[in-house]
A and B are shown apart, each in its own frame.
Chain A
Amino acid sequence: MIALEARKLVKQYPAVLAVNEVSFEVSAGSCFGLLGPNGAGKTTTVEIIEGVTPATSGEVYYFGKLAGNKFREEAGIQFQNTALQDYLTVRETLQMFQSLYNRQADLEHIISECSLEDLQDRDNRKLSGGQRQRLFLAVALVNKPRLVFLDEPTTGLDPQARRNFWDLVSRIRSDGTTVILTTHYMDEAEILCDEIAIMDVGEIIAQGSPAALLQEHYQSVIIELPLEDVSGDLDSIEHRVLETQGLIEISTNDVNTSLEILATHVSGLNRMKIRQPNLEDLFLDLTGHSLRA
C-alpha cells in the first residue's frame, strides 16, 4: 500500500528553482530516505509535503487521497530547526502538542521511548542538543502518527547520540509507522532506509533501495590510498575515480591486477584500504561534487 505519493512537486522562488518536478512514492511501513547535500531541495520538498510550504505546482496524496485534514491529524513531524514555547517543561510541551490532536499516544510510553523520564520537569530551553532532538522526536510522536517526517534528525549530535537515535527510529518503525527521513549522512540512510532518493539541485537523480542502487552502479570495489604514496602513471588501471583530500580512490573490478600495477607505482601499500562502494561514492559519481560542500 502506498502511504504517500508526491507528484511533480515544483517550488519556484524568484531567484531559484528549489524543487523541480519531484515525484516519488513511499510504501506504508517503510523508511524512505531523501538524501542530498545542503541546498539540494530536500527540506523544501519535505515541507511542501508536510503542508507548511506551499508548492508552486504539484500534488501530495496520502493513502490515495489529496493530503488534507486527515494527513495533518495522522502525520508526525520533526523539523530540522524549530522553536518551542518558552518557559514550558518537557512534559508540558508534550501535553500542549498532544492536545492539538484527536489521535493521542500514551505520553508515558513516548517519554520512556525517547528517554525523557529524567528531563520531563526540566524547562525545555535548558536541554542539550541531543536531549532537544529527542524532545522534538517525542513531539512528533504525540499523535501516534502513521507517518513520521524526520528532517536531518541527527545533525549536530555526537556519534553515540546518533546511534541511540537510530535505535529509536528502528523501534518506531517496528510498530508499522512509515518514516520519511531527510539526511545528508549516507551511513544513516544506509542503516535506516528501505528506499532512498538522492536529490541534487532540486531534482531526484537516483532512486531505489540502497543495495539496488549500489548494485546498479557498481560491480567494482574501491582501493583507497594516500596520494603521497603514489608515484608514476596510473593510466593502466581502469576507472581512476578521484583525487581528493590527499587520497586517491580507484574503482576497479579486478583487484588482483590493480594491486599488481599499484605495487610498481607506490612507495608502500601499508596505508592502502579496499572497501565496498557506499552511497557517498555513488553520489560523487552521479554529481561530481562532495556531499557536505
Chain B
Amino acid sequence: MLKRIYAIFRARNLEFIRDRSSMSWNIILPVVLMFGLSFIFGGADRTEYRVGVLQSGEELDMNQHPFLGTRYIQFVVINDKDAGFRRIARHRLDLLVQFDEPGSYWVNPESPKGYFAELALLQSENSTTFGIQKAQITGEPVRYVDWVLPGILGMNMMFSCLFGVGYVVVRYRKNGFLKRLRATPLRAIEFVIAQVASRLVLIMTITSFVYIGTKYFLDTRMDGSYLALFLVALVGAIALLSMGLLVAARVTSEELAGGLLNLFTWPMMLLSGVWFPLEDADAWVRQIANIFPLTHVLNSARAVMLDGATLLDVTPALLSLLLLSMLFLGLGAAMFRWRPS
C-alpha cells in the first residue's frame, strides 16, 4: 500500500515541479500580493474612530448613554471582555466602554485615536456624574501587513489546495489517466492519500518559503511559537485539500469543477477574514464564516502570530479541522469515480 502511495506521490510531485509556470505562479502570487498590500496600506490606517461597547446582547441600545450618539465614531458590540482587551492592545479598537454598573472604560495610552475617543466620552453629557472608571491596556499596534499576512498565505493555500487537487483530479479523469490507474491494483483511498500528501508537501514548502521571505523583508509580527503556526498551517492545508478532493470526487467536466470550486473559494475568501476582520460583522455572518475551514485556519494563525496563543489555545480549532478533514476524505474516497460516467 505504502509503495503504491509513494509511487503516485512521487509522480505527482515531479509533474508539479516540472510544470514551471504553475509552480512559479504559486510562489509569485502571494509574494506580489504581500508586497503590494504592504506598499498600498503601509502608511494608511482607519479614518474612523472605533469604540467597543461591552454588553451581553447583540443589539446596541443607543439610548443607554449620550456618548453613543457621537458622530464619526463607529460603535461595535463586544461580548467577550478578553477579546475586547486584545483589540485595545492591538489598536484595533480605540476605546472599550461598559455602561452597566459600575461603568468602566479601557484605553491604550499609546493610541492617539484612543486619546481623542476618551476625550469624546468624557465630554459627552453626564459622563462626569456617571462615575465611569478608567483602566489602561498597553500594547503595540498591529500593522495591516501583520494582520493580512495570515490571510494572504491562507488564501494562497486555499486556492492551491482546492484547484491544485480538485482541478487536477478532474483533468486526470477527463483525459483517461484515472481509467488507466483503475486497471492497476491501486485503490481509490491510496490515490486520494497520495494526492493529498503530494500537494501538502508542496504547499507547506511554498508557504514556508513565502512566510520566511515576508518575515525577512517586512519584519512581520510573530508573538507565538513557530511550531504552533506550522501545525495550524499543516492541519488547515489537510482540511482544504480534503475539501478539494470531495468536490472532485465525481465531477468529469473541468468547467463544472471550476464553478464548484469557485462556489467554495469565493465565500471563503470574502467571509473567512482574509482581507478584513469579521469581529464587527453581524452575528449571522460570523456563524456562516464558522462553517468554513479557512476561518478556523486564519483565526488560529492570527491568534498565534498576533496574540501569542499557544498550541493548547488553538487545539480545539485544530481538532475540528482534523475532524472535518476525516469527514471530507472519507466521503471523497467513498464517492470517488475513476472514469466519466
Contacts and interface: CB of A to CB of B under 8 A. Distances in A.
A92 B10 CA distance: 10
Contact of B186 (A51, A82, A100): A100
B176 A79 contact: yes
B15 A82 contact: no
Interface stretch (B1-9, B34-42, B205-213): B1-9
A88 B185 contact: no
B338 interface: yes
Name, among A50, A51, A86, the residue most crowded by chain B CB atoms within 10 Å (CB to CB): A86
A96 B11 contact: yes
Contacts of A79: 176, 179-180, 183
A95 B7 CA distance: 8
B175 interface: yes
A52 B177 CA distance: 12
Contacts of B12: 85
Given A51-B183, A52-B183, A82-B176, A96 B15 contact: no
Nearest to A75: B183
B11 A92 contact: yes
B14 A92 contact: yes
A96 B180 contact: no
Contact of A96 (B10, B182, B185): B10
B182 to A, nearest CB: 5
A160 interface: no
Name, among B7, B8, B19, B184, the residue most crowded by chain A CB atoms within 10 Å (CB to CB): B184
B185 A101 contact: yes
Contact of A97 (B3, B19, B176, B184): B184
A100 B15 contact: no
B174 to A, nearest CB: 9
A72 interface: yes
A60 to B, nearest CB: 13
A142 B184 CA distance: 11
Contacts of B7: 95-97, 99-100
28 contacts: A51-B182, A51-B183, A52-B183, A52-B339, A69-B185, A72-B183, A72-B184, A72-B185, A82-B176, A82-B180, A83-B175, A83-B176, A83-B180, A84-B180, A85-B12, A85-B15, A86-B19, A87-B15, A87-B18, A87-B19, A92-B11, A99-B3, A99-B4, A99-B6, A100-B7, A100-B181, A100-B184, A101-B185
Interface of B: 3-4, 6-8, 10-12, 14-15, 18-19, 172, 175-177, 179-186, 338-339
Given A52-B339, A82-B177, A100-B8, 9 more contacts: A52-B182, A52-B183, A77-B180, A77-B183, A83-B177, A87-B18, A99-B7, A100-B181, A100-B185
